Chain A
Amino acid sequence: MLSDRSPILLANARIVDPSRDLDIVGDLLIAEGVIREAKKGIGAAGVPEGTDVIDCRGKLIAPGLVDMRAFIGEPGAASRETLASASQAAAAGGVTTVICQPDTSPAIDNPATVDFVLRRARDNAIVHVHPMAAITKGLEGKEMTEIGLLKAAGAVAFTDGVKSVTNAQVMRRVLTYAGDFDALIVHHTEDPNLIGDGVMNEGEFAARLGLLGIPKAAETVMLERDIRLVALSGGRYHAASVTCVDTLEELRRAKDAGLNVTASASINHVTLNENDIGPYRTFLKVAPPLRAEDDRKALVEAVGAGLVDVIMSDHNPQDVETKRVPFAEAAPGAIGLETMLTAGLRLVHGGEIELMALLRAMSTRPAELLGLPGGTLKSGAPADVIVVDTELPWVLDPNELKSKCKNTPFDEARLTGRVVRTIVSGRTVYEYV
């Protein structure tokens, strides 16, 4: 009888490990929760007795994804998503580490709440979960949280979720103080005043739909401000969700100047544009809004070049009540834990990005930035591994999704490629049959 923690040999697959720029055909051996090795011929040379040998011919093996931004409703919004349901969705999407957001209710702005989330995750989640803690108390944008104690309690980074810290003095102090603790500040850059009553990208399409627009300047102006503050104060800064050409220019300038500035893009912004909203489809309403095709293309190129470091799912489950309303009234947000990889593979199939670069942005780089052990297939690394059939065609049925909410932009989409096995700490937590 094979136990849960028997050694596993994933055989005859294409193995891609962005942490070492490795792309070979071979076998990967897992034992006692860690990766033993990845190379050609392990199977042939003989494996320990009791090893579960899984033939992965024609499939891809990669490090499990590390999703840097997912909203999970614990505490306060369990009807939208729990750690349990989010982790099921994650496993089905090949995400072995989920970083959850602190804009819960109450906010994760004190060590006790960090501890609560970690314990709940330990007991209910089938993948690794780490919380980010709030930058400001109550997410009010006024007073800094206990960055030191929160980090010690297990917060992997700091963010006010989808809220922006509009007071520059507060942001400056935070960056200065956080620097002493080597804490990463992750900031959602959208000036609420420039957003005003806007609900989608400002431009011709919004004008035709009769919807008020959000200019790209709402994002870029705040990022520019933050970059100047990073230069002033030191500290490590990460732009939570970049979407457009203008922002990329600022990011390029900051990196060229040697500032410790990195950035994420959401899977929605690299695969979709504002036209996908079509006839007022509210599942395509996200914050920041979907932009024009030129922005999308530039964003994909930026990920390929490493200018944008991370792709995250921006998983934001919304109930039917907040989505089945006129577009202007709908809550922004789309789910993505389960579809991030598949959607990303579209870009690979379309020749827009190399597989290595995509996987690097979805696993290796986020793990590096957060100081977490995933995103690699090196010997001794935790056995967080995914097996992917990159050519498998399937149609997305929202009822099959593991998330509690079904607000997916890929509703009924025809997709190519999906995860067929997800392994966390050497244990299979998901298998597609």
Chain B
Amino acid sequence: MTIAPKPSFVLSMRHLLGIEGLSHEDISGLLDLAEEFVELNRQVEKKRTSLRGRTLINLFFEVSTRTQASFELAGKRLGADVMNMSTSSSSMRKGETLIDTAITLNAMHPDIIVVRHHASGAVELLARKVDCSVINAGDGSHEHPTQALLDALTIRRNKGHIDGLLVAICGDILHSRVARSNIILLNAMGARVRVVAPSTLLPPGIERFGVEVARDMREGLADADIVMMLRLQRERMNGSYIPSMSEYFHYYGLDEKKLAYAKPDALVMHPGPMNRGVEIDSIVADGAQSLIREQVEMGVAVRMAVLEALSRSLPNA
């Protein structure tokens, strides 16, 4: 069964560098378009041709299996020629600069480049040097727009709406681009956001982001409709930000006991990959309230929607 695209929705910008700058209408439009692709992805015949003849390059300076695979599938299902470049490729290891890589790729006339980099602002820097469209797949601690979009889609599908919900984002907020993009998006869509973390993992000035702040899981999860857990990177555990994994799990890790502080019908999310036993225990991760697997499914659909919406603004679209 082929689904005719709704030609009315266009993301009238060249790049998707972040949620910052997207309007309520932009976000709703992308989520609605993504819904169509969720249906498509469940068919046998998953292919569309809207990106046929287009070249998509995945340029991942930071290793990522799920996001890169998700974008690759998304591009191919839309009919694009997809090329993957990651840190395992030799020139990036040889120390070629970000700018030189951008200029080299640009000379090959790609239509869309999807970039992930470990430094905040790197994707924007690259976007200034290329003629094609750029999608930010995560830049340092700054933004990860497609993650926030897929999280929003997951929430909307399970709760029916986003506005008015209380979303608790728990974990290393300081270093998290997922947290930042989600905060911006959820606020734009009328949800209430609360961040929960030890003080050393909260960014200075976080109160001014329009979020509530809690330093304790009981207080933090009270009345929450959605509990979003963030991954704690191992480097943070060496005593510089928090003293140990066991102390972190004891006070901030999500287990059944802490989940009970939230609403009885609260749902659990995690951007992955999970550190089981550190920020979340397996019973909860695999339990009835977990949306973690659905998030991955939504990821491909959302990325197809983003690619489709951006491609409608490409020259000769």
Contacts and interface: CB of A to CB of B under 8 A. Distances in A.
Interface of A: 202-213, 215, 279-280, 321, 324-329
Nearest to B126: A326
A408 B120 CA distance: 22
Contacts of B124: 279-280
B204 to A, nearest CB: 5
Contacts of B121: 209-211, 279-280, 326-328
Contact of B141 (A203, A211, A279): A211
10 contacts: A207-B205, A210-B120, A210-B140, A210-B141, A211-B120, A280-B121, A324-B125, A326-B122, A327-B120, A327-B121
B208 interface: yes
Contacts of A213: 204
B180 A326 contact: no
A160 B141 CA distance: 33
Contact of B208 (A204, A209, A215, A328): A204
Interface of B: 97-99, 117, 119-122, 124-125, 139-143, 177, 180, 203-206, 208-209
Given A203-B205, A210-B139, A280 B97 contact: no
A212 B139 CA distance: 14
A207 B206 contact: yes
A291 to B, nearest CB: 13
Given A210-B177, A328-B120, 18 more contacts: A202-B204, A204-B204, A206-B204, A207-B203, A207-B209, A210-B121, A210-B139, A210-B180, A211-B120, A280-B124, A324-B99, A326-B98, A326-B117, A326-B121, A326-B122, A328-B119, A328-B140, A329-B119
Contacts of A215: 204
Contact of B204 (A203, A209, A210, A279): A203
Nearest to A205: B205
Contacts of A279: 121, 124
A326 B205 contact: no
A245 B208 CA distance: 22
A283 to B, nearest CB: 13
A173 B97 CA distance: 45
- For chain B, what secondary structure do more than half of its interface residues adopt (helix, strand, loop), or is it mixed? mixed
A329 B139 CA distance: 13
A205 B209 CA distance: 10
A184 to B, nearest CB: 35
Contacts of A203: 204-205
Contacts of A208: 180, 209
Contacts of B177: 210
A326 B140 contact: yes
Contacts of B208: 204
Most chain B beta-carbon contacts within 10 A, residue among A204, A210, A280 = A210
Interface centre among A207, A321, A324, A329 (most CB of B within 10 A): A207
A280 B125 CA distance: 8
A209 B142 contact: yes
Most buried by A among B120, B141, B180, B209: B120
Nearest to A196: B240
A218 to B, nearest CB: 13
Nearest to B204: A202
A395 B149 CA distance: 43
A207 B208 CA distance: 10
A428 B141 CA distance: 52
B125 A326 contact: yes
A321 B117 CA distance: 18
Contacts of A326: 98, 117, 119-122, 125, 140
Contacts of A328: 119-121, 140
B23 to A, nearest CB: 19
B217 to A, nearest CB: 22
B205 A325 contact: no
Contacts of A206: 203-205
A128 B305 CA distance: 64
A204 B120 contact: no
Interface centre among A211, A212, A326 (most CB of B within 10 A): A326
Contacts of A207: 203-206, 209
Contacts of A324: 97, 99, 125
A213 B140 CA distance: 14
A155 B43 CA distance: 79
A211 B204 CA distance: 11
A279 B127 CA distance: 12
